[in-house]
Amino acid sequence: MPPILLAVDKSYPKGLMWFRRDLRVDDNAALYHALRNCRQVVCAFVFDRAILDALPRVDRRVEFIRESLVELDAELRALGGGLIVRHAVAEDEIAPLARALDVQAVFANRDDQPDALARDAKVFGALANAGIAFHTHKDQAVFERDELLTQTGQPYTVFTPYRRAWLAKVDAFYLKPYPARGYADALAPAPEKFGAPVPTLAEIGFEPSNLAELDIPTGSQGAAALVGDFFQRIDRYDTARDYPAVRGPSYLGVHLRFGTVSIRQLAGMAHQLSQQGGAGAATWLGELIWRDFYFQILAHHPHVAEGGESRSFRPEYDKIQWHHGKHADLLFDAWCQGQTGYPLVDAAMAQINQSGYMHNRLRMVAASFLCKDLGLDWRRGERYFALHLNDFELSSNNGGWQWASSSGCDAQPYFRIFNPVTQSERFDPEGKFIRRYLPQLAKLPNAAIHAPWTAKPLELEAAGVKLGENYPKPIVDHAEARERTLQRYGVVRQALDKRKGSA
């Protein structure tokens, strides 16, 4: 039996639901409020040329969005509505579209990325000039903006107390889903002149990627399948998550990124299991809390990723002299192409280049190697991940890179430098992950696969490995690079010592 819903006074005759990073019907905050407050609701999505025109013509994320929109459109049609899909500059398109549809209000879920805030400010102004209201709602996070502050009213900059505050505040109210489907009778089909199907990739100027080949599920149905799979094995997450050859992660990052699954649903399930003593669920819930943490860091400290050029959260780290010039460019290219001579790093880069995904442990290893072995500016790696990760999230990507380079809030100490060989030996002990992505090393024995340059000549010959030919020699010596890094970070140590002395 469907839920019995109370009658609601409708504030507007007609509204527009603007889908963005929330490509689902269920538990969608803005859609729920639109349906509750409007007698009729028309739905739209804009392939934003301000974003898309800067991307390569083959991009898995664009294809993921497109396939998810096809499912969303079908679901909305089944409920009596549909989806208008435009290919335009969103900040120029929404107000004219709202006027053409004769709506009195536009509803959307909030996005605190600096570019998104600037876009929404322009849309707000254009809509206000037309006498149309613009309502935004929290949907990406459990807690956002000023919802969690210290006792002195300041935003948290250290994760552990933030996590404690998050867990102390969260309850059924914050995790309760929005029953949008229960008010779907307000959905209206798009007027005939707007009723074109979701455009093909070619129609928006893109070519197919290997998304289907990789069997990456799209849309709400794909997300639901992954949720079902993950929660059957979440009990092992706390131990399995560190081993890249094991099916340990949730693989839900891209679905969280584009909102084909609700953060409230995931956090609610994990919170319930963690309260029952599930160590795996508690660990994964901690990862979701990190996500909220980085959202609020970006909201309160937009300088970390503003204007297309990130700055260090801790300004003394911007004084570091990173390696630059032609040789630095060659090192960076070797890192990008997975040609560093360190197998775990190279396999990680092969994974992201081939699939748009990189295991979380390896994101830390690859980032540490770029900054602290190669001495390259972390922003170069941040931009590379932003271009290639299917689940790229500005706040988390920036936070992760600043953590690895020690320049961010609650980051690892500058003198903590991952050893790529010992990381490999510990987290890929049998070399299964390395063999999957570096088949040229597959026949090396386990003892040699983590550092092929240490293998005996007969081992290399038997495995068909020719260092410098079919697999590179190490482009840096880790021990020497570590010493150079400690010297490079000396400027930070001096700044910290000076600050202590003046305190």
**Residues for the chain: how many in total?**
503
Residues 6+ apart with CB under 8 A from 481: 372, 373, 374, 375
Active site residues: 287, 290, 322, 360, 378, 401
Q: Which residue type sits at 212?
A: A
CA atoms within 13 A on the CB side of 126: 17
Determine the 3-state secondary structure of 88 from DSSP. strand
Question: Is 333 within 8 Å of 325 (Cβ atoms)?
Answer: no
User: What sign has the CA pseudo-torsion 41, 42, 45, 48?
Assistant: negative
Residue 30 token pair: 């803005």
DSSP code, position 290: H
- What CA–CA distances, in Å, run from 63 to 34, 196, 200, 389? 27, 18, 9, 13
> Phi first, then psi: what are they for 243, rounded to 5°?
-110, 110
- What CA–CA distances, in Å, run from 117 to 50, 121, 138, 395? 14, 6, 14, 14
Q: Using CA atoms, how far apart are residues 228 and 24, in angstroms rounded to an integer?
A: 17
Instruction: Count CB-CB contacts under 10 A for residue 63.
Output: 21
